[in-house]
Structure 1
């Protein structure tokens, strides 16, 4: 009898590991589900199956502003080194892994001109300036974007630039009592700048931090806004309406509604509304089931676009249909492995080690990024010269 019961502890241990990694406690599962919806919209857009899926990036930006507002502005006292290290361990390991592996697997066999552009894009991605490189080289919605496996890192560069801004705000805001005024001012100025870009027809504003800062600020301002006190019925109705706006935008928006269009404000406000409401029955029914996808959304975002680009290079034609479905299936497997063995490992290490070891590790991550970026810069230079 004892022998028959031996596998039970192993099963329980694996269940605990899976619950810890994919169903983390002390988190709002509906917000993880919102992330899952966002990454699904982006992937389906890049696969060519959903015309308005680009709004997934807008969703991510608002959510990022919300969480960074908590990590930086709501911490008393603010711990600068802890904030920086947490961001580095969260982002760099998986990014370095993706760019290193894709570069090693791709750069030696692509055309020389492609090699130069891909390498330089990867280098800019590693120093979080990919959006600046992209704004001067390629339109995000144009056909040539399929040639760049690291083009999608423009949004990660935006996010790191926002982290820098909010880090400085966290350091300086204690010097002023007008925190709400500062955040509201940033939101207003950025929204006005975005509107000006729209009037001017500046399509490359899609990559610009100043045109996106109002979205980040909107998420951050949730912390300074009073939470509505609603009955469960009313909260569920508003929650369902906000979710309908997001899904409707993903289904029916066209490229003309991409940032800096005024139409982006509607899904962004819907995201902020969902975050401000408490967990509802609608959220548990519609968003919580896809929360595991939201948990691994960073890894999925990192790997899905290189997977599509590499497939198009390998097959010499635009991948679509069942072939695209197969590519995305492979990407999902790679993303899970990346989350478990790279992303999660980095965060767990940062949690358990002493402060001095944590800081040394962060410095090592930065050094690794700089070395790989230098190698890619050199590859790009040599490819262009010859």
Structure 2
């Protein structure tokens, strides 16, 4: 936090500073800049629903401060360079507040917001505690979206994971370089000019290696981020490799200023700082950070922060503003404020039934976040931080840390807090296992049709008694059809020629064959998740009628022989390869989908349609003389602005309505197409899903949707009698 982070011996008269250098000063204005950066993050999250660039400034400042502190220690010849002390100090600084927030969020979700008790969110608790949340989100493909009920309350902790990984890497890097460059002959007080010269030589060697290393990492990581911006922005946003350049740029800038800082006229310093602050504040108004950062436009806020650093602590009104008590207080509370604001925002939208936060709610969220940030900083961060001096080279590092934890002032408080953190961490790390056990217990569990008749209430007139709708909303998204749970569904990133033959997630000795596995005749399901969610009734038919059921399934790939807007090009090649499998299996009937929603087109429209690629697939089936059943896709849940939502997890029933005229065309567009095929059969259940105006959210005490566009396995199973009657007509 010093303007110049050079350290000199207190026992030998230091060399005169460079003529253009400024004396070391604490940079109160940079504390304020950190506060302003986090204030921008909070304000834009709450009121604008965009990424402000404040996190990017915060990352640069984290690199500037942290690497500077590590460097200062490394060039002090009397202090230990054992990395444990720095790791322990960092843990005490960061982990207690993080554990407190995660525990508060977990308890609130468990007892007050059950729809957020999902497996993904339980995994994110673990990922946040263990500092790999950024990669957990990247693998899940989570967009860093505006706050609404569909967003994770822990999504913002990706940046804490990036910083935690960076801190550990920086500690180990500087330890290694220090070990290679430090003189072993200097242990105690410096008593001679010769020893002082050896100290200067050691410092020079460390800086000569560290500074180029930081610039190399900065350039390499920046190049990777700029490249990945156009290739995979989702991964780019969360990846530590893409973010390292922001942190290392701050560290390199701080290290460069240890050698020479030009003395600027006051007007020039003020001009630089004014330009820098303007760049920082304007970022959120000019750029959508989720779509642009950490790509090339990240330079906009980072250059702004760098200009403020270079301008120095005497940059007129800008420095006075940044060093003011309100700005510095925000800087002191910045970490806790960042931790609290996002989960409070997300949980509040759920508790109050708002789709997105209103201005009044957002203002209340900010006020509560500031209060909790102040209390967390005062009663958690400060008391539990490591305040004692680093051990010398001859002191035992680990035992020193433990001893000072037990014998320092407020030792009982610190020991108790450490114990509570440990207990809370263990409890939170078990959440994922508990949730997984609940899911496993629900999979395959048959609902009593007397209480949960599902679609039979509409098709066969069954009565619907009073009962709590099933399945439980907090696990509904994770109750996938059997092939997905078995691992018989190829995932998007897998090679195009991947066709799963054995149940890789459950019993690898079993083949991915369902129905009557001893049957002599075969049925085939082909496509993506929208044919897969019809697995339960098709499987029931196969079992009852002596058919083997083979699944040719790939995530995100309907059966198509021509490109479709919104569908990966890989799906055409995959379908061609799947046709070869169909030829080998020689099935009695092939099941696929017949329509897609129009809102996924580049120029979105309401209703559904039959893509040309589907028709070409129908033609291929017809040419082979293979009977096929094409099922009209279920209505998707989206509003008049084409925003998808999950009807099941809506808190306000008014937000849960799926309008038929938006989701489905007035008539089934596949009916006329399929009339021309001798071997093609149309199957349309839309009049069961919807009445004349709306599509149902709950039918026969069973939730219809497990997300915005897939039906639940439990509801699908109740279609079995209907499907069997229709197939008997087709196959008779």
TM over 0.5: yes
Output the CA distance in 2 between the equivalents of 1:262 and 1:167: 28
Q: Which residue of 2 aligns with 1:126?
A: 129
1:355 equivalent in alignment to 2:359? no
Q: Which residue of 2 aligns with 1:59?
A: 57
Output the CA distance in 1 between the equivalents of 2:437 and 2:60: 40
1:202 equivalent in alignment to 2:257? no
Q: Secondary structure in 1 aligned to 2:430?
A: helix
Residues 1:156 and 1:320: Cα distance change in structure 2 (over 3 Å): same
- 2:244 corresponds, among 209, 213, 222, to 213
Output the CA distance in 1 between the equivalents of 2:216 and 2:312: 27
Structure having the higher helix fraction is 1
Structure having the higher strand fraction is 2
Q: Secondary structure in 2 aligned to 1:147?
A: coil
Output the CA distance in 2 between the equivalents of 1:36 and 1:251: 19
Residues 1:213 and 1:234: Cα distance change in structure 2 (over 3 Å): same
Larger displacement relative to structure 2 (131-140 or 57-66): 131-140
Within 5 Å, which residues of 2 pair with 1:1-386? 27-49=26-48, 51-53=50-52, 55-75=53-73, 76-77=75-76, 78-111=81-114, 114-137=117-140, 138-141=142-145, 146-174=150-178, 175=180, 177=205, 178-225=209-256, 226-255=260-289, 258-280=292-314, 281-289=316-324, 290-317=327-354, 318-347=356-385, 355-358=401-404, 367-368=422-423, 370-385=425-440, 386=442
Q: TM-score scaled by structure 2?
A: 0.46
Cα distance, 1:35 vs structure 2:
0.9
Residues 1:370 and 1:322: Cα distance change in structure 2 (over 3 Å): closer
Output the CA distance in 2 between the equivalents of 1:27 and 1:50: 35
Residues 1:234 and 1:268: Cα distance change in structure 2 (over 3 Å): same
Q: Secondary structure in 2 aligned to 1:227?
A: coil
Tell me, yes or no, if the aligned pair for 1:85 and 1:358 is still in contact at 8 Å. Answer: no
Residues 1:363 and 1:285: Cα distance change in structure 2 (over 3 Å): closer
Cα distance, 1:315 vs structure 2:
1.1
Q: TM-score scaled by structure 1?
A: 0.85
Tell me, yes or no, if the aligned pair for 2:125 and 2:429 is still in contact at 8 Å. Answer: no
Residues 1:358 and 1:117: Cα distance change in structure 2 (over 3 Å): farther
Residues 1:383 and 1:286: Cα distance change in structure 2 (over 3 Å): farther
How many residue pairs get aligned? The number is 360
Q: Which has the higher contact order (CA 8 A, sep 6+)?
A: 1
Per-residue CA deviations over 1:45-93 (Å, capped at 9, x if unaligned) read: 210337452x011011000000111122232243423211221111011
Tell me, yes or no, if the aligned pair for 2:148 and 2:349 is still in contact at 8 Å. Answer: no
Output the CA distance in 1 between the equivalents of 2:420 and 2:84: 14
Output the CA distance in 2 between the equivalents of 1:131 and 1:254: 19
Per-residue CA deviations over 1:23-51 (Å, capped at 9, x if unaligned) read: xxx84211111011111111012103374
Q: Over the residues paired in the alignment, what is the CA RMSD in angstroms?
A: 2.6
Output the CA distance in 2 between the equivalents of 1:143 and 1:334: 20
